[in-house]
Amino acid sequence: MEMDSDASFSCTPEEIVNAAGIDTYNLLPEKSKDQYLKEYDLFMKWRTEKHVGSV
C-alpha cells in the first residue's frame, strides 16, 4: 500500500508517522484486507491521474 503524505504530519517525526501508518494498516480485518488494498490502490491511481490533492 502506498502511503500518502499529509500536511498535518509536517511537524511529526518520521518514525512516528511510519509507526502510525503500520498500526493503521494492521487494523484492517484479514477477511477484507486484500479487497480494501486493491480499491485503495485504484483510488490513489485515480487521484494521481486526475491531479487531485488532499481534501
Rounded Cα distance, 26 and 9, in Å:
20
**Phi and psi at residue 12, to the nearest 5°:** -90, 135
Give 36's contacts (C-beta < 8 A, 6+ positions apart). Answer: 28
Confidence of residue 54 (pLDDT cuts 50, 70, 90): confident
Q: What total of structural domains would you count in the chain?
A: 1
For the chain, give the mean pLDDT: 82
Position 3 in a domain: no
Reported as a single tens digit per residue, the pLDDT across 5-46 is 555 546 888 888 888 888 777 888 999 999 999 999 999 999
Does the predicted TM-score (pTM) go above 0.75?
no
With beta carbons less than 8 A apart as the criterion, state whether 55 and 37 touch. no
**Residue 39 covered by a domain:** yes
Domain that holds residue 39: 29-55
